[in-house]
Amino acid sequence: MNNSRYSEQVVLVTGGAQGLGRAMVERFSAEGATVYFADLNDAAAQDVVAASPDGSTTYSRVDITDAAAAKAWIDQIADERGRVDVLVNNAGIIRDNRIENISPEDWNAVIAVNLTGAFNCTQAAFGHMKNRGYGRVLSFSSMSWRGNFGQVNYVAAKAGVVGFTRGFALEGARHGVTANAIAPGLIETPMLASMNGPAREKLVAKVPMRSTGKPEDIAAAAAFLCSHEAGYITGVVLDVDGGIGIGSSIR
């Protein structure tokens, strides 16, 4: 880890109170960034702030599905700091069910947080990035974007993130703004940790590396993709998944 790679930089992370978002908040902060994160879980967010070096990390309660709230959050940071270097669109939710049981609310909520939330924040950040001719936007897809049983809402949203990233990459490129996505595989977050026994073993057996990933694996990839040195990489979807996204493994 390079503890000054992000010094002077302002990094925004959505959904930073727990899981992958928290790991990224900690990683960017450890590499010298001033980090701002948005979430809705106040208690978990306060923990993250308390565990961070003084003044390095600021939490705001922002619902990213609310375009005006997302814009107000980002504009205020840009006003105060004069720059927005990195935006990480990480916040996401699942509402899994077979298609016949997905309510309109569960369809709309999953699209709203995973896809529209990324659009809202990116639209708000892009003007500030364009003004300085520099920016990094990283959005969270999932290995599910290629298709997964019982998740049509999430699959559609995460495939949407891929399309959004590729389209936006073309618009950002001439302004020094890159747009990339990470598609995590099975990562040890509280949700996965709660799954034990045969179901978990079956799932892990499908991973060519035969193990789950850690939030730190995602944070390391994010810290690279959002760095200066990744400036010639745009429009890519990086699988961080122990090989599960390669395709079927029959042995």
Ligand X SMILES: NC(=O)c1ccc[n+]([C@@H]2O[C@H](COP(=O)([O-])OP(=O)(O)OC[C@H]3O[C@@H](n4cnc5c(N)ncnc54)[C@H](O)[C@@H]3O)[C@@H](O)[C@H]2O)c1
232 counts as catalytic: no
Distance between CA atoms of residues 203 and 226, nearest Å: 30
Q: What tokens does 66 get?
A: 């609310």
Q: Does 116 bind ligand X (CB under 6 A)?
A: no
Q: Does 245 bind ligand X (CB under 6 A)?
A: no
Q: Residue from 5, 6, 13, 19 that binds ligand X (CB under 6 A)? A: 19
Give the three-state DSSP class for 204.
helix
Closest distance of CB 136 from ligand X, Å? 17
Distance between CA atoms of residues 115 and 123, nearest Å: 12
Tell me the number of residues near ligand X by CB under 6 A: 28
Q: Does 181 bind ligand X (CB under 6 A)?
A: no
Residues 53-112 that bind ligand X (CB under 6 A): 63-65, 90-93
Q: Residue from 40, 156, 204, 220 that binds ligand X (CB under 6 A)? A: 40
Q: What tokens does 184 get?
A: 């995590």
Distance between CA atoms of residues 148 and 8, nearest Å: 41
Distance between CA atoms of residues 14 and 26, nearest Å: 13
Which region among 78-86, 170-178, 180-188, 230-238 touches ligand X (by CB under 6 A)?
180-188
Report which DSSP code applies to 206.
Answer: T
Dihedral sign, Cα of residue 146, residue 149, residue 150, residue 152? positive
Closest distance of CB 232 from ligand X, Å? 25
Report which DSSP code applies to 53.
Answer: P
217 Cβ partners below 8 Å, 6+ apart? 187, 240
Choice between 64 and 84, CB closer to ligand X: 64
Closest distance of CB 229 from ligand X, Å? 24
Closest distance of CB 132 from ligand X, Å? 25
Closest distance of CB 236 from ligand X, Å? 16
Distance between CA atoms of residues 7 and 9, nearest Å: 5
Active site residues: 154
Binding stretches for ligand X (CB under 6 A): 14-15, 17-21, 38-41, 63-65, 90-93, 113-114, 117, 140, 142, 184, 186-187, 189, 192
